[in-house]
Chain A
């Protein structure tokens, strides 16, 4: 496009990286549950939605200071993740891929309905963490909140890396991902690890929801779209791959932002999905690859 100047492209890139950081967090959440349980959790986007909505409840409606509200929100959504595993996933008697997918779809519309009931249908706003005075950079505008989003992605990734590499629980979770039977033989409680994986990815989803709400508001039905874009990031990076989730998320964000800016804003939501279909059809192992691909496991 001849209309787009360099500063405009830069603007699209910055916006893309910001929204891409959110997709990366959703993708990490997908991967944690998938690696431990083989389940694709269709309710992953609902955790993000609940994060944003709960933060508005604690901070704006109840007036709790931002840091405490942040902690409350993460604890609440983590509990939701735990409840989802305990009361929706674990009770299933014949856990096939098909029934597990259906169960997580059920959970996602249930959470959506409950959110509509609790918060109503209007989008909710949250004040930006450090004001809304934009920063100018080579003709592009950066909202301070963008830096919070990117920063929190970095912090989340660092904490998770430490957790999986250095702590005993993190190592136990990795063992479950490698081989659940062998893990239980060495005394790891696999059920607890599954529950932990749901709580952990719910918590990460909550962080994503909290930081994105000041930029794009939050409403009860945002979950599905966030989930499918996060999943596009997962597939683009390679299912189950931790670095893949980050690369995939950022790329999806940038593609979406450039596509909306340069090609068509009406089709903004379609770009990530077209990438998803393209990767599935032509290179289902994703950019960074994954070992399990195409192995017929249960279906």
Chain B
């Protein structure tokens, strides 16, 4: 199991490192490294969210808001108050974990659709606040002048530099999450997914584990938000709306919600659809997204990463 994972991780790392070098030689795909930066940022969210949805069996429509709070905390504190970006990133994470605790603790005790609706309501309230508090957030027009990041003396001022920085963080989050899954916490989560009653009979504190994963995933979303704000130097509320929360869900469902690999595959594919491949459809892309989500839910419950398993089963049956 671990050995195979190592091979997969090696291929993954090789692909990530070689990507910008290959792309820079193909002029037609010139923008792809830039899109991969966004894909990386979204992957950071989906890794945590997939742990929460796929492994703990819960559902959240509030992660767009956590992403937004991270982005706005970084944006407002750097652009309006001139605080060090790294400090802001940490403040954002702190704020988000407190909020995630306050939202999660009561609603995680309830059944699945209560949490879905509670996080949805929370997400919309945050979205309204982003639109209304003109003085700080700039309202619907958004806010500009968010500075870039620098890593010690190294200014992350090119797409390639930011690419490696973001994917380095994706890689770290990925390894940490894989380790979490194979630890006591991960086993507890799988037990909760299989049966809450059985898990709690085995002495697992179900609400506590669910809450830990909820906060962990919210922290990753906040981190991604800060990285997003410092990359495009401009944020407005529409990047954090309900449709984005649904897009996160589509990423996870498409990739495969029972696998962290699925979170990566889904985030990258949907980001490319979003930024590049669906331009032809303009605003009607929403129909495509709806169709993808519905078809995947009906025909591919394990997502794209489940396809090899289906083929294997099919071949075995034929033999």
Q: Report which A residues bind B (CB closer than 8 A).
A: 40, 88, 91-94, 96-99, 101-103, 105-114, 116-117, 121, 224-225, 228, 231-232, 235, 264, 266-267, 269-270, 273-274, 276-277, 280-282, 284, 293-299
Contacts and interface: CB of A to CB of B under 8 A. Distances in A.
A109 B293 contact: yes
A296 B193 CA distance: 12
B118 A112 contact: no
Given A277-B103, A294-B111, 14 more contacts: A93-B301, A97-B111, A97-B112, A99-B297, A106-B293, A106-B297, A109-B243, A110-B294, A228-B121, A284-B114, A295-B111, A296-B196, A299-B111, A299-B196
Nearest to B197: A296
Contacts of B196: 296, 299
A98 B112 contact: yes
Interface of B: 53, 57-59, 103, 106-107, 109-114, 116-118, 120-122, 124-125, 128-129, 131-132, 196-197, 242-243, 246, 249, 253, 283-291, 293-294, 297-298, 301
The 10 A-B residue pairs whose C-beta atoms are closest, nearest first, are A110-B290, A113-B287, A106-B293, A113-B286, A106-B294, A97-B112, A281-B106, A273-B121, A40-B113, A109-B290
A231 B117 contact: yes
A101 B124 contact: no
Contact of B117 (A107, A110, A276, A295): A276
A110 to B, nearest CB: 3
B128 to A, nearest CB: 5
Contacts of A298: 111-112
Contacts of A96: 57
Contact of A294 (B109, B242, B286, B294): B109
Contacts of B289: 109, 113
Q: Interface of chain B, helix or strand or loop or mixed?
A: helix
A113 B132 CA distance: 27
Nearest to A88: B294
Contacts of B253: 102
A99 B291 CA distance: 15
A271 B233 CA distance: 32
13 contacts: A98-B57, A101-B113, A105-B249, A114-B287, A117-B284, A228-B120, A266-B128, A266-B131, A277-B103, A277-B125, A284-B114, A293-B110, A299-B196
A121 B283 CA distance: 10
Contacts of B58: 98, 299
Contacts of B59: 98, 101-102
A279 to B, nearest CB: 10
B124 A228 contact: yes
A284 B115 CA distance: 11
Contacts of B128: 266-267, 269-270
B57 A102 contact: no
Contacts of B283: 116, 121
Interface centre among B113, B243, B246, B286 (most CB of A within 10 A): B113
Contacts of B243: 109
Given A102-B293, A109-B246, A109-B286, A277 B298 contact: no
Interface centre among B53, B116, B289 (most CB of A within 10 A): B116
Contacts of B290: 106-113
A269 B124 contact: yes
A152 B279 CA distance: 43
B274 to A, nearest CB: 14
Given A109-B289, A267-B132, A101 B116 contact: yes
Contacts of B111: 97, 294-299
A119 to B, nearest CB: 13
B294 A103 contact: yes
